[in-house]
Structure 1
Amino acid sequence: MNKPATGIAIINRSAPHGTSNGQESLDMALAMSNFGQDVSLFFIDDGVFQLLSKQAPASIDAKEYHKTFPALEFYDIENIYACKHSLQSRGLQVSELCIDIKLIEPEELSNLLTCQQHVMSF
C-alpha cells in the first residue's frame, strides 16, 4: 500500500528579481507553515539564484527578500531542495547560498513531488 500524499511543494523556477514570483512563493511558504501545513521548497532552473547570499536588489529598487530565507527554520520548513544540475550549469557553488539546502539530481524531483498533496510552481 502506498503512503498517502501529504504536504505542499512550492517549486521556484524564476530568477529572484524582475517578477514577484520569488517573494510570493516565500510568503506562501511562511503562511502555509503558520497554518500547520508541511511545506517543501524546491529551487530549480533560474530559481537557484534566489538562494544567493550576495544580492543587490536595492540597486533596482527591489526588496531583499532573500534575507528572510534563514528564518525558514523557525517556521519548521526543513525540506529545502536545490537542483544540483541547475546550480552547476549556472556556475554556482553551495557555499554561495544563504541557507543550507539538500542537493538533488533532476530525476529525484519527480519522486519527491509524488509525495506531495499539492504542488505550486512560481
Structure 2
Amino acid sequence: MARSMLIITRQSPWSGPSAREALDIVLAGGAFELPLGLLFLDDGVFQLAPAQQAAHLQQKDLTANLQALPMFGIDSLFAARRSLSERGLDETALPLQVDVLDDAALSALINRYDHVITL
C-alpha cells in the first residue's frame, strides 16, 4: 500500500525555487498515483493569488502548473485560512479550488498523512 504524503509549500512564488520544487514533487507523485495532498501555508498562499505578473520579476508563472494539478490526480489541495487572511487574500477569489482550513483542521490534516515535506 502506498504511503500518503502531504507537501506543505510555505514560500511565495517569487522568493526562490521552493515553490516550484514543491509543485514538481507533487506533479511527480501524481504521475505515480501516490496519495498526495498540497497545503499552501504562510507566504505559500501567494501562489494562489489571481492575476500574477511573474514576468515583471523575471520569474516563470506557476499558474499553469497549479491548474494542471487535477489532471495529475491531485485533488487534495488546502490553504490555511489564517495565512490567506493575514496576507489580504480573499478565499472566494482564488483561481484554484482549495479547501480552506482553520488552525484546528490544519493540525488534523497534517496528522492524517504518513509523511510530511515542508518547502
Q: Tell me the TM-score normalized by structure 2.
A: 0.92
How many residue pairs were aligned?
A: 118
* Selected match of 1:29 from 26, 42, 45: 26
RMSD: 1.4
Stretches of structure 2 lacking an aligned partner (at least 5 in a row):
none
Q: Are 1:80 and 2:89 matched, yes or no?
A: no
Q: Which amino acid aligns with 1:60?
A: L
Stretches of structure 1 lacking an aligned partner (at least 5 in a row):
none
Partner of 2:104: 107
Q: Which amino acid aligns with 1:27?
A: D
Q: Which amino acid aligns with 1:78?
A: D
Partner of 1:46: 43
Deviation at 1:68, TM superposition (A): 1.5
Deviation at 1:94, TM superposition (A): 1.9
Structure 1 ranges of 4+ moved more than 4 A: none
Partner of 2:117: 120
Contact 1:11 / 1:43 at 8 angstroms: preserved in 2? yes
* Selected match of 1:9 from 1, 6, 11: 6
Contact 1:17 / 1:57 at 8 angstroms: preserved in 2? yes
* SS of the residue 1:40 aligns to: strand
Deviation at 1:90, TM superposition (A): 1.1
Q: Tell me the TM-score normalized by structure 1.
A: 0.90
Contact 2:7 / 2:37 at 8 angstroms: preserved in 1? yes
What is the identity percentage for the equivalent residue pairs of Structure 1 and Structure 2?
A: 32
